[in-house]
Amino acid sequence: MGLAVLILLVGLAGTGLIFQVVATRNDQQKFQAPGELVDVGGYQLHIHCIGNGSPTIILDALGNGSSASWGLVQPEIAQSTRVCAYDRASAGWSERGPTPRDMNQHVRELHTLLAGARVGGPYVLVGHSYGGRIAGVYAKTYPRDVAGMVLIDPGRLDDDPRFPPQHHKERAAERGLITIARCSNRSA
């Protein structure tokens, strides 16, 4: 009896595995990446650029979002300038990337992706939620490449453990300056 149950369980698991492999292959054929896959160091990230002009708008989705999140926005922006939406590693059409999956890794991957896809700056980084956090660190790391940022509900960077530690002191100093400026305005 026990052997029959074991054989049944192994058979069901094998059937499920085969189904998943076939379904994944079918989905990949049916829903191909709209952009291009670019090697960023042994794995590929997806980027989809449309439109012409400068500056180039770079769209970065929220946490587990993908370039498809910008499906209604991207064509509208493309009427005025070049706009690129991309998928971070393990999201959308991009492949899984190496660990650690921290802010520094995301920023390096975006920089490598833009260079590999030959997407020249200057960039206006548009980031939603976690994408906004990446935009802030990217702008601080590569300030000459960035013409501006649009941050949509980015939260606070300094409370995020993925935020690079070297930036914590800078953010604290900025908060102090903002507080001083607010106090000065109130007394005037």
Per-residue pLDDT of 115-138, as tens digits, reads: 999 999 999 999 999 999 999 999
In a domain, 67, yes or no: yes
pLDDT for 3? 78
**How many structural domains are present in the chain?**
1
Average pLDDT over every residue of 60-68: 91
Neighbours of 33 (CB within 10 A): 16
Beta-carbon contacts of 116 under 8 Å, excluding residues fewer than 6 positions away, are 38, 39, 40
pLDDT for 1? 75
Q: What is the DSSP letter of 93?
A: T
Least confident of 4-13, 27-36, 158-167: 158-167
In a domain, 65, yes or no: yes
Q: Look up the CATH number of the domain holding residue 145.
A: 3.40.50.1820
Beta-carbon contacts of 123 under 8 Å, excluding residues fewer than 6 positions away, are 55, 56, 57, 58, 114, 145, 146, 147
The β-bridge partners of 60 are 127
pLDDT for 111? 98
pLDDT higher than threshold 90 for residue 11: no
In a domain, 58, yes or no: yes
Domain span holding position 124: 34-180
pLDDT for 181? 52
In a domain, 77, yes or no: yes
The β-bridge partners of 58 are 84, 125
In a domain, 166, yes or no: yes
Least confident of 89-98, 131-140, 170-179: 170-179
pLDDT for 137? 92
Query: CA 165, 109, 117: angle at the middle one, nearest 5?
Result: 150
Average pLDDT over every residue of 49-75: 95
In a domain, 19, yes or no: no
In a domain, 96, yes or no: yes
